[in-house]
Copies of this chain bind each other. A is one copy, B any other.
Amino acid sequence: MSEQVYGRVALIGLGLIASSMFWAMKRAGLAGEVTGYARSEETRATARKIGLCDRVCDSAREAVKDADLVVLCVPVGAMGPVMEDIAPVLKPGATVSDVGSVKRHVIEAVQPHIPEGVHFVPAHPLAGTEHSGPESGFAELFDNRWSLLVPVEGTDPEATARLRALWEGMGANVDEMDADHHDLVLAVTSHTPHLIAYTMVGVADDLRRVTDSEVIKYSAAGFRDFTRIAASDPTMWRDVFLTNKDATLEILGRFTEELFALQRAIRTGDGEHLHDYFTHTRAIRRGIIEAGQDTDAPDFGRGQKK
């Protein structure tokens, strides 16, 4: 059992990440009181019904009042306006953090509104499922996953250390990283793969109209994984691509270059090129299993997550 890290925590936005944070903080007793706010009245009603947050407030300002930690859990594109709204009522010495998948843009949008005497420590937990909304969270979501802290220049090291303790208490491994580097790494490991999955599912759907839903019926392993990825929250992902534009476009450029090389190998019947490439990627998978981010077991370790 960890001990309390913050007296009061405010969660702004009550989706998958915020709700999982609430249950994870409760599991380990990391926060005295957790308040929550969501823009949609329906979401607030659901949160109250399922006991998500100790207190659900009807405004963001009310939720952040006297909070020692405020976590912005809204889509990346909404971070700036939300921060501008709550800035005047933040408690001196409080820490503001976020869980956005893009960091440079969030820093540019949020940082100018941070009042004197309030700390800002951006963060990004690398965890999720294809589900969204207040009912999708669970306490184990962050267990053994990475959470990246991206402190801005001049951030108080103590504020960063405290946020690190919170994430570790919620089960995550924590690393610190520069914002631009974060955005590039995520463009490779998450953003571009999502865009590609979305695209492939869209293509399949075009064909589905021709073939009377066979594509859905016969969705073997490959395609099934893509559809799961492509079921993620549309607003969140729209904002990710609009705000991590440069890194995503760079990786997409590399991707199409390599894809065209494989396409040429198929067209010309160059089996050696294909075999070499596929052997190489298999080794990368081995590296991931050894790094402990997945398991070799037939249920791919997902059964352990809930």
Contact = CB atoms under 8 A, between A and B. Distances in A.
Interface of A: 77, 126-130, 138, 145-146, 148, 181, 184-186, 188-208, 211, 213-232, 234-235, 237-239, 241-242, 245, 248-249, 251-252, 254-256, 258-259, 262-263, 265-267, 269, 271, 274-275, 277-282, 284-288, 291, 293-294, 298-300, 302-303, 305-306
A146 B267 CA distance: 30
A146 B217 contact: yes
A199 B306 contact: no
B221 A129 contact: yes
A275 B235 CA distance: 6
Nearest to A239: B271
A130 to B, nearest CB: 7
Contacts of A237: 274, 278
Contact of A194 (B190, B222, B241): B222
Contact of A231 (B199, B228, B282, B303): B282
Given A217-B291, A218-B185, A275-B238, A285 B130 contact: yes
State the main secondary structure of chain A at its contact with B. helix
A222 B234 contact: no
B126 A220 contact: yes
Nearest to A140: B298
A198 B262 contact: yes
Number of this chain's copies in the assembly equals 2
Contacts of A214: 185
Nearest to A298: B306
Nearest to A197: B222
Q: Please provide the 9 A-B residue pairs with the shortest distance between their CB atoms, ordered closest to farther.
A: A231-B285, A234-B278, A193-B222, A303-B303, A298-B306, A299-B302, A299-B303, A230-B281, A126-B220
B138 A298 contact: yes
Looking at A184, A196, A265, the one whose CB has the most chain B CB atoms below 10 A away is: A196
B225 A229 contact: yes
B188 A258 contact: no
Given A242-B266, A259-B196, A293 B219 contact: yes
A73 B186 CA distance: 40
Contact of A277 (B198, B282, B284, B300): B198
Nearest to A272: B238
The residue among A189, A199, A256 with the most chain B CB atoms within 10 A of its own CB is: A189
A66 to B, nearest CB: 34
Given A196-B200, A300-B228, A288 B255 contact: no
A192 to B, nearest CB: 7
Given A198-B277, A282-B230, A298-B138, A249 B266 contact: yes
A202 B302 contact: no
A222 B189 contact: yes
Given A245-B267, A269-B242, A258 B203 contact: yes
